[in-house]
Chain A
Amino acid sequence: MTWNDAVFMMPEIVLTIAASLLLIAPVAGFRNSEWFAKWATLIVLAITGGSIVACSWAVADLKPSTYLNAMFALDAFSIFFKLLFVVVIALIVLLSDDYLAESRYSPWEYYSVLCFALLGMMFMASGVHLIAIWTGLELMSLSSYILAGFFKNERKSTEAAMKYFVLGAVSSAILLFGLSLIYGVCGSLNLFKVATAMSTIVNNDALMFGIMLLGAGLCFKIAAAPFHVWTPDVYEGAPTPITAFLSTGSKAAAFAIFVRIFYVGVPDFQVHWSNVFATIAALSMVLGNLAAITQDNVKRMLAYSSIAHAGYVLLGIIALNNTGLRGILVYALVYVFANLGIWATVLMLRRHEYGGERVDDFEGLHRRQPFVAFCMVVFLLSLGGIPPTAGFIGKYFLFAAAVQSGFGWLAIIAVLMSAVSMFYYLRIVVAMYLREGRDADVAITSPLRFVAAVCLIVTLALGIWPTPLVDGAGASSRAIAVLSNAGR
């Protein structure tokens, strides 16, 4: 490890030390000062975020470079995702605050595990070696299993964690098997070397099988059909802030490695894998959206909607062009903020254990809380891709990518399904504005209001003035292009 490596690893090193400190804090005399856990975590996240920014300055003109024997890359792409992840985790911490306070569980452990999940996600964002990526993925996944079952005494939570763990372990094994096949054929797991090796291979069944297994494992992580069955149960059972994490941060991280692997590692086999993923994308969009229509539980509805969104993002992978790449980056960001905003609203409606989870619970919200209801409308419109919200910009890119790459039939399915999705998003709007509900109190705390406001500003501002986001995504996508050329 050279000095350069250490500098580039700074955010990860800082975060590892800090997360460990959070874990031992209760033993070190902070057991009773639980109020401090949240602030300590936020400070850790702020330092991590600061060091990511500092790292980005250390690289002249954001020129991409690899470190630690080309295991990781520091480029605009990884910085984009790392910063996004830090912000997401910070917002999740704010969402968790009161939720945890009402439970009997130690916030120190919770926040520490959350930070380890973030560490895994950061490895995923910067990894350019399949083992590094896999390690990051496992770190994130294991943390997610723990968090999903964090409320040990609640049956739903435990059940969710168990389901998630068993299926997640199987998918990790499948992914690993895929990696071993790729290694067998290409002789390396470094993505650049894989790409170089593959450029000379015309067709190879073992390699193709390996790529398919890899894809299947990744599709499990992003919850694309037919690898989606765990999603509704886990989303419903997990503590709501963790559901928010699973549907935003964890998913965005999986998108990041999906992009890295398929854009940098195996683009040469596009003709072979694109049709398979096109089928998966179509299936996810149709199944996710149609199944969401019949759900009465908001958490399950959003779970199915997240399956559909995974399908939209796959359009960007299949397209394998600059538009698609930018689209995934833009979409990951806008999707994350719209979703986090919705989860904040769901948490506000929590009146008893599983309150605020049914569509009926939203009835008459506009009278009780006009601002919250308005935020919710904006978030739902953003998920549905209606301008002037940021969601439209994201969908625009992905649909454009599909058209540009000649997958017209897929684009038609995608746009029609996104119209269908408005049907169930509008169900919540109908409940909020068009039905007179019971007068029940809502638990609006300032952190929740803050999260909703941040998400509202991001969603509207990037919808009306998307240039910064589009340009940022453009820089990140160029980084991918440069890296993949440099590796050849």
Chain B
Amino acid sequence: MIAPYALRLAVQSLLREKWINLLSVMTIAAGLFIISVSFFVLYNIDIATKNLPEKFAMTVYLDNSLHKDKLGPLIDSFRKKKAVLSVRYISRDEAMKELKSSLKNSDYILEGLEENPLPESLEIKLKKDEVEAETAQQLASEALKIKGVTEVDYGEKFLSTLQSIKKGFKSAGLAFAAILSTGMIFVCYSTVKILFYRRTEEIETFKLLGATKGFIRTPFLIEGAVIGTCGGLLSLAGCFLLYYTFLLRLSITMPIFKTILFPADLFLPLPIIGMVLGITGAVIALGRLRY
């Protein structure tokens, strides 16, 4: 019987203090919206960088004196490795052909070469999930121990840049979300604290009439939850509005925006996140009640 009454008290208070509550809802909505937009940007960067490993390949240069009989077992030994997706043999002629095609109109620089200076090589592609600096480094050092392998080029820079981009965005995103979440908890905390102070006399009367801490706390927790949930709902609406009325229209005139993905499913928990933030703020604001 206490729960419906607590709900009634919470609704009465929400309506009575509508301006301060509305302000809190708007602040939480703005905070969650900013987090969501940041997440939206990070998500798209993540998707874009996920395709980059497909372009990654290691090149294992072979000694020209390597006997043809040993080539087959060498290729097989690489293929057997867990991280390896494919191994392609590139003969010296093929290498020259590829070089020429990549030079296009500048292939005159190769004129005058009497002999093909390029070595035979193996192009090794790694499985998507294995494209990491450590894996490539380990594979390279193993390859260098094999007789007939002269050099391994595994694009350290490419891998380390890719990793730092991912790590950087993730850490920045997490830090940003943590700071804003703390801010939103503080907003809920302040709101509930103000409401609590405004009702100090009322609460004192409740206590003297025999109210339990649960009876006193519940309406405030409900208020925190409602404020947080409303903030979450508003930010969710903001995200959908941003995508469907802005980005989608923009993609008609600017095709690059067509590649942007909108993870609607991932935004749906926003009201729940708002509710959790609201309740957390309320719990901190109420602190330890004394009779």
* Co-complex (A, B): no
